[in-house]
Structure 1
């Protein structure tokens, strides 16, 4: 199911980027605050005593998010190359193997399963992205189907754990890719939802995860509409100004 693209004003995209960079990083333990994230992203101002690794985790979201938006504007279907491109930008200056599938076994602390082996990962990821695109394009009939499929495949990705690190941040960015691609607002999982989010992943409860996504997207949709209305008011104010051609001055 291909939805109509939604309008994405620049100010709204900045707002999404700031919240995404802060919350997605905070879920992984980053301690940079939301106000400091605003300073870093919007004003290129680095607060004193900022840990360099945490700073890169925040700033890398800017390049990764712009990359996602560019691919969507160009109507590029999700592929393993795009997935690697997102990971490469999210982990720039943080990982020596940025943008590459894992070369060694990795583990998830406290998980009752073992992620895919490095040997299995390339084929599993090809199958993952092909199946995701098929489900979204051919099977999904409505927005609820899209949310269920996006949640299901996020859980699957977590179990493959295709990269040596940065899987969570990449996976959350991929959910945004699929949602925007199909005309839904982006999903921002806030840091205060960390425990619930991790529990849903651990339980692999697709139905509950879909409801979780639906709740957050309803909130995001209201926020998005607020930015659209702000943009419309700007246009109205601009349009109310008389043009030079309409002016009587000098006549």
Structure 2
């Protein structure tokens, strides 16, 4: 899939802004543009909030640079390590203590279970994608795997941002434009996760991805003709 620079810049801003906003980072869209594209920190913004955006930019770029690399534990650790740089001392390592998702009706995996569950998660996901017969089947598999990832909750922090970037990696790797979950849809997204409604989330994702295709094509059409 050809990814024009302007589209990548646009995607970087939207993925970073919305994913961080879902995790309660209150930086505005215009501030995100300033930080991510122009490397200027406007006004009095906390260092923590800036690190969250800057780290997301680094993880986003890492995925684009390694888009053809197969999904492995090492790749996932690398993404998480970049996302949590300067923010968490356990970055790039599976959790050492039990954790929980606020409001969830299920328990996350224990630290002793996490390593084997994550290896099985990758194996199952790769098998599902290989057996998929259409792009919609691939999207459904990736959406279902996202729920499984969040249910395992393999890291002490940053699971949501890591999981959403992994979906981007998997979709692009399979020639499908990314799923950008906007902060305005946070409640709906959280409801899907809490109810473990993978089918509903897949239907939602397909509709959002269709709109993303139009945006992607608009950037393609704006490229100079040879």
Distance in 2 between residues matched to 1:66 and 1:48, nearest whole Å: 26
Which residue in 2 is equivalent to 1:149?
141
1:104 corresponds in structure 2 to 97
Q: Could you tell me how far apart the structure 1 residues matched to 2:81 and 2:69 are?
A: 18
Where does residue 12 of structure 2 map in the other structure?
17
Number of residues of Structure 1 aligned to a counterpart in Structure 2: 226
- The answer to whether the aligner puts 1:208 opposite 2:200 as a matched pair is yes
How far, CA to CA, are the matches of 1:134 and 1:81 in structure 2? Answer: 19
Aligned to 1:245: none
Alignment partners' CA distance in 2, 1:95 and 1:110: 23
The 5 A counterparts of 1:67-86 are 67-72=62-67, 75-86=68-79
Q: 2:150 aligns with which of 143, 158, 161?
A: 158
Give how far 1:51 is off.
Answer: 1.2
Higher relative contact order (Cα pairs below 8 Å, separated by 6+ residues): 1
TM-score by length of 2: 0.98
2:212 pairs, out of 196, 200, 220, with 220
Structure 2 stretches lacking a partner, 5+ long: none
What's the counterpart of residue 45 of structure 1? 40
In the TM superposition, residue 171 of structure 1 has moved relative to its aligned partner by 0.3
Matched, 1:229 2:221: yes
The list of structure 1 runs, each at least 4 consecutive aligned residues, that deviate by more than 4 angstroms after superposition, is none
Which residue of structure 2 lines up, in the alignment, with residue 182 of structure 1? 174
CA distance in structure 2 between the aligned counterparts of 1:129 and 1:174, rounded to whole angstroms: 11
Which whole-Å CA distance do the structure 2 matches of 1:193 and 1:67 have between them? Answer: 26
Deviation at 1:61, TM superposition (A): 1.2
Residue of structure 2 in register with 1:58 after alignment: 53
Aligned counterpart in structure 1 of residue 26 of structure 2, from 28, 31, 39: 31
Residue number in structure 2 paired with 1:242 = none
In 1, the alpha carbon distance for the partners of 2:208 and 2:83 equals 23
Helix, strand or coil at the partner of 1:120: helix
Give 1:108-119 correspondences, 5 Å limit. 108-119=101-112
**Quick check: which has more Rg, 1 or 2?**
1
RMSD: 0.8
Q: Distance in 2 between matches of 1:90 and 1:60?
A: 5
Work out the CA distance in 1 between the residues paired with 2:22 and 2:114.
25
Matched with 2:88 is 95
